[in-house]
C-alpha cells in the first residue's frame, strides 16, 4: 500500500534581512557568505509571529487548500526544537487555533503531540504518522515542522538564522510522494549543539545571601532558558558528516541495495543549516562510493584529494542535478531547523514544476540530521499527479513578495525591543499577548486570527 505526502503548504516570515547588510555590519566580506555559503536573505519573525503562528497558519492553509473536513484528521504531529513551553506542546495551541476558525470541538478526537530531537524532529513526526496511516489507511494525518532558528548576535551562527513552518497531509495513495518502509539510522549522544537550562545562584542576581523570594523563585538558584543554542560549529559539522555517512550505509543494508544508491535518486534532500551544507558534506558519501575518482585527484593527502573532488565534473554535475534545486529556497529563507529538509523538498518540487521536468515515478532520497545527534536516510517515489498539487503552492512567488528590513530594525527585533510589528498582519494567526498577572495563568500565550 502506498503511504506518503498527499499535499503540502507553508508559512514563513514576511520580512528578511539581506545577508549583504548583515555581512557589512559584522565586518565580513559579503561574498564569503553569498558565494561561499549560498546565503542571500535571512528571514526573521515579526513581533506578532512565533512557532505557534507559523504552524497554525501552515496547517490552516493546508486544510483550506484541500477542503478537508476536520473530522477526517486523526493526528496533528509537530516537529520542533523551539517549543514555547516545557509542558504544553505547540500542537495543543495549534489545535485550539484551528478550532477557532473551523468550529469549536472540531478536533476534539484528534491526537496531537510535539516531537523534539533538534532538527530531525519533523522527520520523526513524519515517520510516526506514516506508520499510523499504514495501519489505518482510511485515516489522515497532518505533520507540521515549525521552528525559529535564532542565534546570539555576532556569533558564528548569526548569518544562518531563519524561521517558518511546513505542513504536510499524510494519507494512503498520496499524490506527491510515496515513502518506502526502509530507514537507515545512526545515533550518538553528543553535545555538538543544544539548548540547556542554565542556572545562576540567586546571589548573583539579587546581591543578597539571604535567598529572598525573586519573582516567585524560592530556590537559591535561578534557571533561565535562551532561544539561542550552545554549539561548536566545527564539531557539529563533523558529527553531521559522521551520522549521515553511517545512516546512508545502514540504509543500503536495510533496503538490501548495493552500489551507488544515490544514483537512483532524481533529487537529494538534506538538512540544510545553511544553503551549501548539503553539497559540502555529501562529498564524503560520494568519495566513499567513488574511490577511483578520489584516488585520481591531485593532492598529497586525502584532505587535498577530497577538496579537488568537490570541483570535479562528476560531482558538480551531481550538485546541479540533484542538490541545487533544494538550495534555492534555503538561500532565500535561512535555516528552519526541523523545517529545513521539507523547505528543500518544497523548493525542489517547485523548481521541477517551473522547469516542466517530468519526475513522476522517480525516486528521491532524504538525508536528515538532528544535533545531539541522529541521522535518518530514506527514500520516496514521486506520484503521478504531483504537479496538480504543487501548482497551488505559489512558494517562489511568496518568497519574492517578502519585505527587506534595515539592520537597526533587525537588531531591535532580535533583542525584543520593538513595540509594534514591522508589517501589519493580514489573514493570519498572530500572538496577541502573554499573561503576566493572573497567578494561575501566568505565561499563558493568547492568539487570535486577524483578517
Span 187-211, mean pLDDT? 92
Per-residue confidence (pLDDT) for residue 71, from 0 to 100: 96
Span 108-136, mean pLDDT? 98
Span 431-446, mean pLDDT? 96
DSSP for residue 439: T
pLDDT in tens, 283-322: 999 999 999 999 999 998 999 999 999 999 999 999 999 9
Angle at 380 between CA 379 and CA 383, to 5 degrees: 165
- Global pTM reads 0.97
Backbone φ and ψ of 151, nearest 5°? -125, 165
* Highest CATH level, class, for 3-192+232-450: alpha beta
Q: How far apart are CA 2 and CA 171, in angstroms?
A: 9
Q: How far apart are CA 54 and CA 430, in angstroms?
A: 9
Query: DSSP string spanning 347-371?
Result: HHHHHHHHTT---TT-EEEEEEEET
Residue pair 338/120 in contact (Cβ under 8 Å)? The answer is yes
pLDDT in tens, 77-116: 999 999 999 999 999 999 999 999 999 999 999 999 999 9
pLDDT in tens, 32-55: 999 999 999 999 999 999 999 999
Per-residue confidence (pLDDT) for residue 65, from 0 to 100: 96
Q: How far apart are CA 267 and CA 371, in angstroms?
A: 23
Q: How far apart are CA 299 and CA 61, in angstroms?
A: 52
Listed by start position, the domains of the chain span 3-192+232-450
Amino acid at each position: 500500500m502506498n503511504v506518503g505526502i498527499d499535499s503540502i503548504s507553508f508559512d514563513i516570515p514576511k520580512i528578511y534581512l539581506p545577508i549583504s547588510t548583515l555581512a557589512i555590519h559584522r565586518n565580513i566580506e559579503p561574498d564569503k557568505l553569498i558565494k561561499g555559503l549560498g546565503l542571500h536573505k535571512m528571514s526573521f519573525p515579526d513581533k506578532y509571529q512565533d512557532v505557534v503562528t507559523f504552524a497554525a497558519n501552515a496547517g490552516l492553509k493546508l486544510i483550506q487548500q484541500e477542503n478537508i473536513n476536520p473530522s477526517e484528521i486523526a493526528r496533528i504531529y509537530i516537529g520542533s526544537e523551539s517549543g514555547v513551553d516545557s509542558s504544553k506542546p505547540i500542537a495543543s495551541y495549534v489545535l485550539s487555533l484551528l478550532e477557532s476558525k473551523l468550529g469549536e470541538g472540531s478536533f476534539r478526537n484528534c491526537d496531537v503531540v510535539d516531537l523534539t530531537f533538534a532538527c530531525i524532529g519533523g522527520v520523526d513526526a513524519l515517520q510516526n504518522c506514516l506508520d499510523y496511516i499504514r495501519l489505518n489507511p482510511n485515516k489522515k494525518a497532518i505533520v507540521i515542522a515549525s521552528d525559529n532558528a535564532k542565534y546570539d548576535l555576532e556569533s558564528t551562527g548569526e548569518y544562518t538564522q531563519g524561521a517558518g513552518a511546513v505542513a504536510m497531509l499524510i494519507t494512503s495513495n498520496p499524490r506527491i510522494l510515496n515513502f518506502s518502509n526502509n530507514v537507515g539510522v545512526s545515533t550518538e549522544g553528543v553535545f555538538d549543539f543544544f539548548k540547556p537550562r542554565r542556572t545562576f545562584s540567586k546571589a548573583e542576581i539579587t546581591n543578597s545571601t539571604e535567598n529572598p523570594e525573586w519573582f516567585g523563585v524560592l530556590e537559591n538558584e535561578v534557571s533561565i532558558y535562551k532561544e539561542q543554542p550552545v554549539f561548536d560549529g566545527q564539531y557539529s559539522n563533523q558529527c553531521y558528516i559522521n551520522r549521515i555517512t553511517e545512516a546512508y550505509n545502514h540504509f543500503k543494508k536495510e533496503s538490501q541495495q548495493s552500489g551507488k544508491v544515490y544514483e537512483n535518486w532524481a533529487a537529494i534532500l538534506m538538512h540544510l543549516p545553511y544553503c551549501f551544507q548539503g553539497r559540502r558534506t555529501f562529498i564524503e558519501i560520494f568519495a566513499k562510493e567513488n574511490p577511483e575518482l578520489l584516488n585520481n585527484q591531485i593532492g598529497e593527502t586525502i584532505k587535498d584529494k577530497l577538496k579537488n573532488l568537490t570541483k570535479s565534473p562528476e560531482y558538480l554535475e551531481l550538485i546541479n542535478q540533484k542538490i541545487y534545486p533544494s538550495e534555492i529556497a534555503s538561500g532565500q529563507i535561512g535555516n528552519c531547523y526541523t523545517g529545513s529538509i521539507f523547505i528543500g523538498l518544497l523548493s525542489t518540487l517547485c523548481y521541477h514544476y517551473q522547469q516542466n521536468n517530468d519526475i513522476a515515478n522517480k525516486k528521491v532520497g532524504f538525508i536528515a540530521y538532528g544535533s545531539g545527534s541522529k541521522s535518518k536516510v530514506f527514500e520516496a517515489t514521486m506520484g503521478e499527479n504531483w504537479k496538480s498539487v504543487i501548482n497551488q503552492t505559489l512558494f517562489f512567488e511568496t518568497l519574492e513578495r517578502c519585505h527587506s528590513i534595515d539592520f537597526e530594525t533587525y537588531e531591535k527585533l532580535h533583542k525584543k525591543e520593538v513595540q509594534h510589528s514591522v508589517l501589519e498582519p493580514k489573514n493570519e494567526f498572530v500572538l496577541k499577548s502573554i499573561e503576566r498577572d493572573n497567578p494561575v495563568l501566568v505565561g499563558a500565550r493568547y492568539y487570535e486570527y486577524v483578517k
